[in-house]
Amino acid sequence: MTQLAKIHKGILRWYSKEARDLPWRRTHNPFRILLSEVMLQQTQVQRVLQKYPEFLKKFPSFDSLARARASSVIRAWRGMGYNNRAVRLRKLAGEITHKYGGKLPRTIRELESLPGIGPYTARAVSCFAFGQRAPVVDTNVHRVLRRILPKETQRRRIWDVAEWALPRRNAYSWNQSLMELGSRICVARNPKCPVCPVEKICPSAFKKHIAFRRNGAAEPGRNGIPNRIYRGRIVETLRDSRRSVKASVLGRRVVSGFREKDEPWLVRLLKGLERDGLVRIHNHRKKTEVSLAR
């Protein structure tokens, strides 16, 4: 048996016993798969598990999403973070109903052309919804493959490596198993090698893993507080408000010690949110007002 075949066997066997029972592993419905993948793009399983069913209850299909107001979708996205995803998902739903006859396209190229769908999600949908033999590389898969595969593969591009390592059968289970292993055992720091199914054949087992450096660059912000905090507070405030809010009022609600002179700064922030399709800015009696996008 080849080394790769041993890796396949060890990891797939482990997965068949240890796989978590997750709702998106119980369906091949393209909408449900896509929704789960978009939610999982930047968000831990734990939190997605909580929001996924309630979002699905409110928006069970591309059609329902396409017909909804942006504000309604942004509200349903509460607690997920990266609110851009909600806006893009609704835009995507519009394209599906109006340009694709209500059906998600099946080619990677078409999937990747959709808003919010990149290389990872396109292939995840292709494999998990359509049963195609597509490699998927998220950071978990990336890490696991780099550790478990032989040194000769180290210089090749990760997507090529993933393609090469893909078993001829069971692509679905293989992809799921790599993600499961990467998130539960083969974690970035202090991997749990003693309980890993492929510890015996892993070249990296029990090696010291250097904690990977994060960007040295500081997060953009103001007075040491990242902009995303203010953006988050603004969207959250608007979620709770049925009507539009004066910029000055918004400023006082989201920034401690907000003054008139801070308004240009606030407006810059609001313009960013407007560009992202999250808020609507309008003038009323010469004052800037803002509400959730429609």
Partner DNA sequence: ATCCGGTAAA
Partner DNA sequence: TTTACCGGAT
Distance CA 206, CA 194 (A): 8
Figure out which of the listed residues 29, 61, 64, 84 binds DNA, where binding follows CB under 7 A: 84
Figure out which of the listed residues 116, 135, 197, 251 binds DNA, where binding follows CB under 7 A: 116
Figure out which of the listed residues 54, 160, 219, 240 binds DNA, where binding follows CB under 7 A: 219
Question: What does each C-alpha distance from 284 to 229, 244, 245, 264 come to in angstroms?
Answer: 27, 10, 10, 17
Phi-psi region of 114 (alpha: psi -120 to 50; beta: other; left: phi over 0): beta
- Least Cα distance to 40 among 102, 89, 103 occurs for 89
Residue 37 known to be catalytic: yes
Distance CA 134, CA 231 (A): 36
- Least Cα distance to 121 among 35, 22, 56, 60 occurs for 35
Figure out which of the listed residues 29, 67, 82, 94 binds DNA, where binding follows CB under 7 A: 82
Residue 66, token pair as written in the block: 């396409």
- Name the segment binding DNA (CB under 7 A); options: 24-32, 53-61, 117-125, 258-266: 117-125
CB of 59 to DNA, least distance (A): 19
Give 41 or 132: the residue with its C-beta nearer to DNA.
Answer: 41
Give me the 130-149 binding string for DNA, x by CB under 7 A, dash otherwise.
--------xxx--x------
DSSP string, 1-28: --HHHHHHHHHHHHHHHH----GGGS--
Taking CB under 7 A as the rule, does residue 215 contact DNA?
Answer: yes
- Name the segment binding DNA (CB under 7 A); options: 3-11, 38-46, 56-64, 199-207: 38-46
Q: Which parts of this chain interact with DNA (CB under 7 A)?
A: 41-44, 46-47, 79-84, 88, 112, 114-122, 138-140, 143, 188-189, 211-212, 214-215, 217, 219-220, 224, 227-229, 231-232, 235-236, 272, 276, 278
